[in-house]
Amino acid sequence: MDIGERDHDLRERARKVIPGGLWGHMNVNAFIPGYPQFFARGEGAELWDVDGRRFVDFMCSWGPNILGHHNPAVEDAAARQRSLGDAMNGPGAVLVELAELLVETLPFAEWALFQKNGGDATTACVTIARAGTGRRKILVARGAYHGAVPWCSPSLAGVTTEDRAHLIHYDYNDAESLKAAAEEAKGDLAGIICTAFLHDYGKDQALVDPEFARTAREICTREDAALIVDDVRAGFRLDLRGTWASVGVEADLSAYSKAVANGYALAVVAGNERFRAAARPGQVYTTGSFWYGAVSMAAAVATITTLRDEAAIAHMAAMGQRLRDGLGKLASENGLSVRQTGPAQMPMVLFDDDPDFAVGNAFCLGALKAGAYFHPRHNMFICAAHTPALIDRGLEAAAVGMKAAAQAREHRMAVA
């Protein structure tokens, strides 16, 4: 798809005043340069780019859009709070209301702290684990993403060896490698951090293996270390009780962000009694200029109660499955084999024999042209505003994308 005129102009201007035109993973040059970079508006599960083109959206703001843009319950709650005050000298009453709601909703949690981004929350979990145990080593899965700060950023630029000292790596879902890492940390183990399931960039997803989760729990209980579940990406989309509730394993500390306030900036650390003291003032110092903002907290209360009262998770699972079934059918009609992995509400679509993602990119660009926004190598997200009609419109666009993917595959075979 040709880049729109307005998008092109904004990119030119951005290139001069923003390094690389845009920081981070939302820079479309990092996945498909032909994608729109700038957006004008969102409504429900649809997006409009700055050139006025409309898309059925399957990225959902990379996770935060869980109830749909402009969900009335969330917007009413946010507007009510905004009319009273947002960033004040201290929090609003809604801080307590939200913490109570989280403690009621997450079975392992006895308390909560609030931040702004997922990386704030995962970093606070690691710091609280170290303060609470008086030890240093953190076990981290190879390739897992926990944020863009020095201890865990995927880039080593500007990062010192000391920033990464005391991390020991294991392989996700591999209990033996986790045990070996724990052995290496012996006597100095502060915690194990695990994403809610395996959702690494460009790879097939895998749900957490219950045996692996139990091993992580056993190690932390035996060593009196913190089991940290990083539920930033999956939280509130798969299970309101926390994603590991489905395998019956309780975290000591868990990080949330993305979907918790339906697009308003908020992150959460939830923890149990064992780590309450370490999270107190006088112990770990946690604060930020905007960490008391009341509007996002009001939005979070409305988001969580709406998710609960409207059985939104089951709806997202059903819509994700409808998409998955349709994509599978379209792929086979076009002689393509796709791997659709992970939970249906967080779709990951990878084509076989596509090491450079040329086939996946062709699929996405073809579908984009026909009005659907897919991602070729990051997991996608379904939201509660996806209706069967919208999924079907997405599938019509996907049909165009699959034809383009089949051509890209033929081209690959011809040059191979």
Query: For the chain, how far is it from start to end, CA to CA, in angstroms?
Result: 26
Q: Does 124 bind ligand PMP (CB under 6 A)?
A: no
Q: Which of 70, 61, 39, 117 is nearest to 381 (CA)?
A: 61
Nearer to ligand PMP by Cβ, of 146 and 237: the residue is 146
Task: Please report, as residue ranges, which positions from 214 to 233 form the binding site for ligand PMP (by CB under 6 A).
Answer: 230, 232-233
Q: Does 293 bind ligand PMP (CB under 6 A)?
A: no
Site map (CB under 6 A) of ligand PMP, residues 188-207, x = contact: -------x------------
- The residue at minimum Cβ distance from ligand PMP is 118
Instruction: Give least dist CB 396 to ligand PMP, A.
Output: 29
Looking at 257, 272, 296, 345, which residue binds ligand PMP (CB under 6 A)?
257
Task: Please report, as residue ranges, which positions from 75 to 94 form the binding site for ligand PMP (by CB under 6 A).
Answer: none
Looking at 44, 118, 242, 343, which residue binds ligand PMP (CB under 6 A)?
118
Contact (CB, 8 A) for 251 and 232: no
Q: Does 296 bind ligand PMP (CB under 6 A)?
A: no
Nearer to ligand PMP by Cβ, of 63 and 320: the residue is 63
Please list, in sequence order, all residues whose beta carbon lies within 8 angstroms of the beta carbon of residue 152, skipping any fewer than 6 positions away: 119, 122, 123, 140, 145, 146
Whole-angstrom distance, CA of residue 74 vs CA of residue 300: 8
Instruction: Give least dist CB 30 to ligand PMP, A.
Output: 14
Q: Which of 393, 315, 370, 379 is nearest to 350 (CA)?
A: 379
Instruction: Give least dist CB 368 to ligand PMP, A.
Output: 22
At 123, which amino acid appears? T
Interface with ligand PMP: number of residues (CB under 6 A): 12
Instruction: Give least dist CB 325 to ligand PMP, A.
Output: 26
Please list, in sequence order, all residues whose beta carbon lies within 8 angstroms of the beta carbon of residue 372, skipping any fewer than 6 positions away: 55, 56, 58, 393, 394, 397, 398, 401
Instruction: Give least dist CB 232 to ligand PMP, A.
Output: 4
Whole-angstrom distance, CA of residue 203 vs CA of residue 196: 15
Nearer to ligand PMP by Cβ, of 153 and 407: the residue is 153
Contact (CB, 8 A) for 253 and 128: yes
Q: Does 117 bind ligand PMP (CB under 6 A)?
A: yes
Nearer to ligand PMP by Cβ, of 270 and 408: the residue is 270
Instruction: Give least dist CB 247 to ligand PMP, A.
Output: 17
Task: Please report, as residue ranges, which positions from 164 to 193 form the binding site for ligand PMP (by CB under 6 A).
Answer: none
Q: Does 145 bind ligand PMP (CB under 6 A)?
A: yes
Nearer to ligand PMP by Cβ, of 119 and 401: the residue is 119
For the record, the structure tokens of 202 come out as 């460009």
Contact (CB, 8 A) for 215 and 179: yes
Give the range of 145-153, 181-189, 221-229, 369-377 binding ligand PMP by CB under 6 A. 145-153
Nearer to ligand PMP by Cβ, of 24 and 187: the residue is 24
For the record, the structure tokens of 197 come out as 């399931």
Contact (CB, 8 A) for 370 and 396: yes
Looking at 42, 44, 119, 293, which residue binds ligand PMP (CB under 6 A)?
119
Q: Tell me, what DSSP letter sits at residue 76?
A: H
Contact (CB, 8 A) for 318 and 343: no
For the record, the structure tokens of 182 come out as 């724990």
Instruction: Give least dist CB 64 to ligand PMP, A.
Output: 9
Helices and strands (H, E) in the chain, number of each type: 10, 13
Looking at 36, 42, 68, 147, which residue binds ligand PMP (CB under 6 A)?
147
Whole-angstrom distance, CA of residue 284 vs CA of residue 290: 18
Instruction: Give least dist CB 122 to ligand PMP, A.
Output: 5
Specify the residue for token string 């020095």: 150
Instruction: Give least dist CB 315 to ligand PMP, A.
Output: 23
Whole-angstrom distance, CA of residue 225 vs CA of residue 27: 38
Whole-angstrom distance, CA of residue 101 vs CA of residue 293: 17
Contacting residues toward ligand PMP, per CB under 6 A: 117-119, 122, 145-147, 195, 230, 232-233, 257
